[in-house]
Amino acid sequence: MKRQLAGAAGLLHGAAAVLNTANALRPTRSPRYSIPSFAAGALTTELPAAAAAATVLPQLALAAAGGARTRTGRLGLALSLGAAAGLVGVAAASRPAADVLDRALDEVYGPDYRSRVRHPAWPEADAPLSRRPGVVRMFQVRRRYAHDVDIPYGPAGLRNHLDVWRRADLPPGGRAPVLIQVHGGAWTVGNKREQALPLLSHLTERGWVCVSVNYRLGPRATWPDMIVDVKRAVAWVKENIAEYGGDPDFVTITGGSAGGHLTALHALTARDRIWQPGFEDVDTSVAAAVPLYGIYDWTDAQDAGLIRLLENRVIKQTLADAPDLFGTASPRRAITADAPPFFVLHGANDSLVPVRGARRFVEDLRATSKQPVVYAEIPGAQHAFEIFGTRRAHAAAEAIERFLGIVYSMDTSGHEVRAADL
């Protein structure tokens, strides 16, 4: 009886392993299953070695318990080994990421673009840099770099707090370039502590000042509270970041998923001041925007799940009743010739936010904007591909630094900078 139970468990485990690997290689596009597809795929695609261990080790334990002596157990073992072999392909899919990102920058700025990258004047050229954190150590970087945390920037309590990341040896008058990070979470969950750790730690180590922000969330908050908070945070940075060694004249913005939407929308509407109640006179424009796996059109009828979420928990009106409200909240509808430089990144295997939205946004942006628009579609990458300290995350962080460094090199403020390749 024990053998039969172990064999049956092995077969179920093997079948689940095959499904998990298949989802990582080719995630479902069905709206009904997009969330579980993302939940499983994000971990498997970015941590395939851990997924392989979780696939093989329990199966070996079941085999040792007698499962391998049954036909179902042997089939389950074969399925698990096949799934583990497929995970080798999942791992291989992450290797081209750096080349894809490099080509995206090359196509816009030319093959010698690296020679145009500039970094902050601090740390000095011979200053030692810390070793790049791995998956586990990445969760400790906030403690190392976020020296000023939970700073209020608005009246909404914890949801209007931000953290400032900087090197401990950055001088108060360092006037370092600044990046603001806006977290994702479908405008209803998430916080400033969880996301973009590889990017924030990478830029901070190299002399940038980074600011991660909270903002009000639905369903307690209602649109446009979210974008108002982002703009209020940018205003705070413009008015206060010099006290932390940052340069208020060179501020950029990034974010993933819902944060990508807010990043793009803020960058495209900063000149309008339409969502700056009580701080209309503050210039919240940014030098560049880097949205990752963002949502760019709130009126996309093909995305019924997004529309339901917005209607029920964010805008709290239907698209049919308030089409203008949905339209003005869509970055794709806010594109103008005066848009700042953009670097748009999206995973080719994103099951949560289909890549077609990024493609359309980039096409429209390139057709209208007078500034460069870089687009990188990361092969094999799921939604939230840059959260863990993995190959893709580090490649994305380094490419974003190069993009921002080129924009920084075009700055006319006269601040001291030094040229350096990564």
Kindly state whether residues 88 and 13 are assigned to the same domain: yes
Report yes or no: 346 and 292 within 8 Å, Cβ to Cβ.
yes
Kindly state whether residues 211 and 240 are assigned to the same domain: yes
Query: Which residue type sits at 185?
Result: G
Q: Which residues are marked as active site?
A: 257, 350, 383
CA separation for the pair 25, 14 (Å, rounded): 17
CA separation for the pair 165, 149 (Å, rounded): 8
Backbone angles phi, psi at 415, to 5 degrees: -70, 150
Among 43, 70, 93, which residue terminates a domain?
93
Burial (CB count <10 Å: 0-12, 13-18, 19+), residue 320: exposed
What are 291-347's pLDDT values in tens digits? 999 999 999 988 889 999 999 999 999 999 999 999 999 999 999 999 999 999 999
Report yes or no: 253 and 179 within 8 Å, Cβ to Cβ.
yes
Kindly state whether residues 268 and 174 are assigned to the same domain: yes
**Would the pTM of this model clear 0.85, i.e. be above it?**
yes
What are 16-59's pLDDT values in tens digits? 989 999 998 888 777 777 888 888 888 898 888 889 899 989 88
Please, where are the H alpha helices in 110-208? 141-145, 197-205
Report yes or no: 264 and 246 within 8 Å, Cβ to Cβ.
no
Backbone angles phi, psi at 209, to 5 degrees: -105, 125
Report yes or no: 6 and 70 within 8 Å, Cβ to Cβ.
yes
Query: Which residue type sits at 165?
Result: W
Hunting for tokens 């670097």 — which residue is that?
343
Backbone angles phi, psi at 348, to 5 degrees: -65, -25
Other CB atoms within a 10 A radius of the CB of residue 331 amount to 29
Q: Report the run of H or E that residue 250 belongs to, with start and end.
A: strand 246-256
pLDDT at 416: 37
pLDDT at 411: 60
Kindly state whether residues 171 and 262 are assigned to the same domain: yes
- Longest distance between any two alpha carbons in the chain, whole Å: 79
Report yes or no: 276 and 235 within 8 Å, Cβ to Cβ.
yes
CA separation for the pair 146, 298 (Å, rounded): 34
CA separation for the pair 391, 350 (Å, rounded): 17
Instruction: Please write down the long-range contacts of 109-117, taking CB distance under 8 Å and 24 or more positions apart.
Output: 109/372, 109/374, 109/406, 113/402, 113/406, 114/402, 114/421, 114/422, 115/419, 115/421, 116/405, 116/406, 116/409, 116/419, 117/401, 117/402, 117/405, 117/406, 117/409, 117/419, 117/420, 117/421, 117/422
CA separation for the pair 330, 324 (Å, rounded): 10
CA separation for the pair 54, 93 (Å, rounded): 20
Kindly state whether residues 283 and 343 are assigned to the same domain: yes
pLDDT at 336: 97
Kindly state whether residues 88 and 101 are assigned to the same domain: no
Report yes or no: 135 and 390 within 8 Å, Cβ to Cβ.
yes
Structure tokens at 310: 């917005």
Kindly state whether residues 126 and 89 are assigned to the same domain: no
Kindly state whether residues 238 and 198 are assigned to the same domain: yes
CA separation for the pair 360, 335 (Å, rounded): 12
pLDDT at 7: 73
Kindly state whether residues 286 and 313 are assigned to the same domain: yes
Kindly state whether residues 210 and 344 are assigned to the same domain: yes
* Domains of the chain: total: 2
Hunting for tokens 């509270």 — which residue is that?
225
Structure tokens at 376: 């990188």
375: which strand partners?
Answer: 344
Report yes or no: 325 and 223 within 8 Å, Cβ to Cβ.
yes
Among 67, 93, 119, which residue terminates a domain?
93
Low-confidence stretches of the chain (pLDDT beneath 50): 412-422
161: which strand partners?
Answer: 152
Among 64, 93, 122, which residue terminates a domain?
93
Residue 382: CATH number of its domain:
3.40.50.1820
Full domain range(s) for residue 84: 2-93
CA separation for the pair 69, 330 (Å, rounded): 59
Kindly state whether residues 138 and 213 are assigned to the same domain: yes
Kindly state whether residues 47 and 113 are assigned to the same domain: no
